[in-house]
């Protein structure tokens, strides 16, 4: 018959193996398994059971399960909505965990059919960073007008260089975009340097992509009376 005393040796072996694993996710799983086996021993073998040890074991299991869930959220897009997953596709340099932090301070904006909004003005500071989620916006730079389609940032030059906006960007009818307050985003990057570096790398990549693509003035969205007044 199986000697319950072997439970101690099995649990200790699993824990020891876990300490050799550098991956935190696997380490937490090994600790949980080891703690469960220890608890079986403390409950089944002594007479009466070692209830203090059992309760301590349950606390260790609960804490490690909580941390395990946090690790899973850091690595997966679990519980993100379809729109949030689409947005994440545009944040290639960020991990899912970093993206969740960005998402918490994001504002989703939908333009009505008869609505237009100036996102940035050329030569003026930009208080926000924008990502065009759906639709096409109108961009005016040095008196040239052109279209900027979805899956592009605007205000990224001002954010990265801490300078004025380099173009006037207008979101019109049917455009959906995501907005981040620049001050809040910078503070978030300061608290989490790896996130800040990943975000700067993403915006630099976005700018490089724009420089390599050809946006022609005759692709511009024809100005409306409302747009002219906004400018």
Q: What is the pLDDT of residues 206-215, one digit of tens each?
A: 888 887 765 4
The model's confidence at residue 222, banded by pLDDT at 50, 70 and 90, is: low
User: Dihedrals φ, ψ of 92, to 5°?
Assistant: -65, -30
User: How much is the average pLDDT of 20-38?
Assistant: 95
Strands across the sheet with 176-181, in order? 106-110, 176-181, 128-134, 152-154
Cα Rg for the chain, rounded, in angstroms? 26
CB hemisphere CA count around 195 (13 angstroms): 17
Structure confidence by residue, pLDDT tens digits, 125-139: 999 999 999 999 999
Q: Are strands 152-154 and 128-134 parallel, antiparallel or unpaired?
A: antiparallel
User: Could you tell me what percent of the chain has a pLDDT over 90?
Assistant: 77
pLDDT digits 0-9 by tens, 32-44: 999 999 999 999 8
Distance CA 108, CA 210 (A): 23
Average pLDDT, the chain: 90
Percentage of the chain beyond pLDDT 70 is 91
Q: What is the pLDDT of residue 1?
A: 66
Q: How far apart are CA 117 and CA 125, in angstroms?
A: 16
Q: Residues near 119 by Cβ (< 8 Å), separated by ≥ 6?
A: 126, 128, 130, 137, 154, 155, 169, 170, 171, 177
> If you average pLDDT over residues 102-122, what whole number do you get?
93
pLDDT, residue 5, reads: 82
Indicate the DSSP class of residue 222: P
Rounded to two decimals, what is the model's pTM? 0.77
140 near 190, Cβ under 8 Å? no
C-alpha span between 95 and 84 (Å, rounded): 14
Residue 101 pLDDT more than 90? yes
Q: For residue 123, is pLDDT > 60?
A: yes
The confidence score (pLDDT) of residue 228 equals: 47
Whether pLDDT at 196 is above 50: yes
The secondary element (H helix, E strand) that includes residue 139 is: strand 137-141
């Amino acid at each position: 018959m199986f000697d319950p005393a072997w439970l101690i040796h099995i649990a200790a072996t699993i824990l020891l193996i876990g300490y050799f694993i550098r991956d935190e996710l696997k380490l937490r799983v090994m600790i949980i398994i080891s703690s469960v086996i220890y608890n079986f021993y403390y409950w089944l073998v002594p007479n009466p059971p070692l209830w203090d040890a059992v309760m301590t074991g349950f606390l260790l299991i609960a804490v490690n399960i909580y941390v395990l869930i946090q690790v899973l959220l850091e690595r997966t897009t679990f519980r993100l909505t379809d729109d949030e997953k689409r947005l994440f596709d545009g944040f290639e340099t960020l991990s899912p965990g970093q993206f969740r932090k960005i998402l918490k301070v994001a504002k989703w904006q939908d333009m009505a059919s008869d609505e237009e909004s100036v996102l940035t003005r050329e030569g003026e500071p930009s208080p926000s960073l924008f990502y065009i989620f759906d639709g096409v916006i109108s961009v005016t730079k040095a008196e040239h007008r052109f279209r900027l389609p979805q899956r592009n940032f605007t205000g990224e030059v001002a954010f990265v260089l801490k300078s004025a906006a380099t173009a006037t960007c207008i979101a019109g009818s049917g455009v959906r975009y995501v907005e981040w307050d620049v001050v809040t985003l910078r503070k978030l990057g300061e608290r989490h340097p790896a996130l800040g570096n990943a975000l700067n790398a993403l915006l630099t990549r976005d700018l490089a992509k724009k420089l390599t693509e050809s946006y022609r003035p005759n692709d511009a969205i024809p100005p409306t009376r409302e747009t002219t007044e906004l400018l």
